[in-house]
Amino acid sequence: MKRTTTVLLSMALTMIFSHHLKAQETETIKKDGLTLNFTSQDPTFDPALKKRMIETFFKVYPLLSQEYNPNTNKEVYFVIDTAYDGVAATGAGKVTYSAAYFKKFPGDVDVVTHEVMHIVQNYGRSNGPGWLTEGIADYVRYKFGVDNPGAGWTLPELKSTHSYKNSYRITARFLAWLENHDNKGIVKKLDSSLRDHTYTNEIWQKETGKSLDDLWKAYSEKPAL
């Protein structure tokens, strides 16, 4: 009986260990000169969601590279992390996604679009403001996202409490407004200045003829996109 119990326990541990290893396996996908390495620490991660994330990467990343930074990484790493308690984090060509977040919001596939833009941005030790970095990434999600409606993701209507420094979607809407109001290409110019570390507050005046605060005032008075 003791021997039987030991054998069964050993078999169970082997199955658990094998299952864990399988969850940790990295799938490498190559397409059109790009390589995506996808690792999941979650054995229950939805295969359909994984497929959508991979498809989103290969759809938007070449577009972002072409639009903003042709010298961006050609090899990217995705990791589904069971311990990470944020939404996602990006650094050195690697995006870490929260497994728990995607369980709650499986339709939010354009988290991929936002995060891979951070790879394209590659500002390093930029002298630019963080609110602009995140605002650009959300503007790109707004412009290039594959299924923002499916996630219920939209740019928010302007409120009196908003500021361009609020970052993310609030800043993104301001950038979209600038693009639509006689400043086409401003996001690309801002992105470039952040990457080559030439950004200063004077760039707003130089490119638009108005200071940043004056631009926000004009936006606040007539915020329709």
Q: How does pLDDT run across 82-114, given as a tens digit for each residue? A: 999 999 999 999 999 999 999 999 999 999 999
The pTM of this model reads: 0.89
Side chain identity, residue 16: I
Q: How does pLDDT run across 35-79, given as a tens digit for each residue? A: 999 999 999 999 999 999 999 999 999 999 999 999 999 999 999
Tell me, yes or no, whether 19 lies in a domain: no
Q: What is the rounded distance in angstroms from the CA atom of residue 190 to the CA atom of residue 173?
A: 15
Looking at the structure, tell me whether residues 158 and 177 fall in a common domain: yes
The vertex-195 CA angle with 190 and 199, nearest 5°, equals 50
The vertex-141 CA angle with 138 and 144, nearest 5°, equals 145
Residue 127: pLDDT band with limits 50, 70, 90? confident
Residue-number span of the structural domain to which 60 is assigned: 24-122
Q: What is the rounded distance in angstroms from the CA atom of residue 223 to the CA atom of residue 218?
A: 8
Looking at the structure, tell me whether residues 107 and 153 fall in a common domain: no
- Out of 89, 122, 155, a domain closes at 122
Q: What is the DSSP letter of 224?
A: -
H helix runs in the chain, sequence order:
2-24, 47-68, 99-104, 111-121, 130-144, 168-180, 186-195, 202-208, 212-221
